[in-house]
Amino acid sequence: MKDLKYLLEFENLLEDADNALIRQAQADGKYAIGYTCYHMPEVLLNVDNCFSTRIRAPRSTSIDIATYYMSNYTCEYARSLLERAIEGGYEFLDGIAGVDACSAMNRCYEHMEILKCNSKPHFFVTHTDVPYKIEEYTIDQVQIQMRLRLLDVMHEKLGTDTSDDALRKAVEEHNEMCRIMTEIGNLRKLDNPPVTGYEFHVLNLVSYCCPTALILPKLQETLEEIRSREPDEKPPFRARVVVAGSEVDDLDFSRLLEESGALIVGDRYCYGSTPGREVIELNDDEDVLRQICRHYMKTSECARYMANDKIQQRRDTIDRLAREYNADGIVFEQMKYCDFWAFERPLASHILQEEYGWPVLSIDRSYNVRGSGQLRTRFQAFVEALEIKRIQRAKEVI
């Protein structure tokens, strides 16, 4: 297929956490608020004079210093972020909006504060709690914390307008982003999609990591381009897969999987589009902040939620995506030493295979996979197995 107009530019934006669009927005007087978790409502960080950027540590190599502070047995993602912070890689941030979702990330935030990894006088790190299930009283809890520990802090430190009108305006812009990304993502349902899984991963990541107001026009133009794009008559992919599991912001992961012959048609992982790119429906009868909090709590599929209905929701979502996008199998991944997904992945992989009937490749991986030969071999073997299953099904029909 013909290369997308902005693909190279988007890839370059993802080479650094402090990308060109962030610098442009800050030059215009905006403040960058970093965050890492879906439990922190992205839309609240895009209010008035602030914009959100989901924190990454691209091109990470050694994490020895962070390991000294956090130990070998903590998530490599959290350690990579701390390593980058110690190197001065997040000096551009004006604040970090953290959530007490997992102990590794809590320690990462804590060390960023203690080690004074950002010298801006107005810089802040704030934490909010995350419940284990959704009830009216837990929505109350999150709503109060988002007001006291986030919005009030932004107002005090940065002079941010956190009124209901400002929140509604942020939701409107967020919803436009979601509609664009959802339409692009839905094109992967086609037998021969005009967008690859790797390309979609790039587009989705820039939507998280760049100021919404600046990246939105480029994504809208990209959507128009994809609508009229002619896919290759004979695509190189031999199987369609859904990727599910923990955090994936490493483009090499998607590149390696698709180079092995699998087209990624669905992404149910942290930093993916499911959840993350769902429109927030607001009414005029209830507090705006409460509606926003409820939306994120209900759509969240983090393995931290341990209530039975949330466990079932996660399995049903993966099954639904695999069916809707006509997948041949599921790649269930988990970052090494990720506490919550280390419990979720083995059982969910087994259930999806035994009870839902899906071929599943279950893997744990490093934060950055680079050119992992072992992972490439496993991907190739899985693709071959899916191809054989499809051939056998075709023979049975005949």
Contacts of 83 (CB under 8 A, 6+ apart): 57, 60, 62, 63, 64, 65, 66
- Residue range 27-47: mean pLDDT, rounded: 97
> Among 171, 211, 173, which Cα is nearest to 294's?
171
249-273 pLDDT per residue, tens: 999 999 999 999 999 999 999 999 9
Instruction: Give the global pTM.
Output: 0.96
Residue (of 41, 16, 279, 277) closest to 149 by Cα position: 41
The residue to which tokens 């490599």 are assigned? 76
pLDDT in tens, 332-345: 999 989 989 999 99
Start-to-end CA distance of the chain, whole Å, equals: 33
Distance of CA 139 to the CA centre of its chain: 23
Helix residue ranges per DSSP H, 260-307: 288-299
Give the gyration radius of the chain's Cα atoms.
Answer: 21
pLDDT confidence of residue 119? 94
What gap in Å lies between CA 336 and CA 160, rounded to an integer?
Answer: 38
User: Are residues 84 and 60 in contact, defined by beta-carbon separation less than 8 angstroms?
Assistant: yes
Query: With contact defined as beta carbons under 8 Å apart, do 195 and 180 qualify?
Result: no
For the chain, what are the domain ranges? 30-162
pLDDT of residue 395: 73
Q: Is the pLDDT score of 133 beyond 90?
A: no
Q: Which fold has domain 30-162?
A: Rossmann fold (3.40.50)
Residue listed under structure tokens 């009870």: 355
The fraction of the chain above a pLDDT of 70, given in percent, is 99
Q: Give yes or no for residue 72 having a pLDDT over 70.
A: yes
Q: Choose among 313, 378, 376, 368: nearest CA to 344.
A: 313
Task: Please give the average per-residue pLDDT across 137-142, as a whole number.
Answer: 96
Residue pLDDT, tens place only, 280-324 = 999 999 999 999 999 999 999 999 998 899 999 999 999 999 999
What pLDDT was estimated at residue 285?
A: 94
Q: What is the mean pLDDT of residues 119-129?
A: 94
User: What is the reported pLDDT for 94?
Assistant: 98
Strand partners, 126: 97
**Rounded to whole angstroms, how far apart are CA atoms 197 and 91?**
32
Supply the pLDDT for residue 132: 86
Closest CA to 199 of 172, 219, 169: 219
| The pair of three-digit structure tokens given for residue 31, joined into one six-digit string | 């403040």
The count of residues in the chain is: 398
The predicted-structure confidence for 174-195, as pLDDT tens digits, reads as follows 999 999 999 999 999 999 999 9
Asked if pLDDT for residue 327 goes beyond 80, the answer is yes
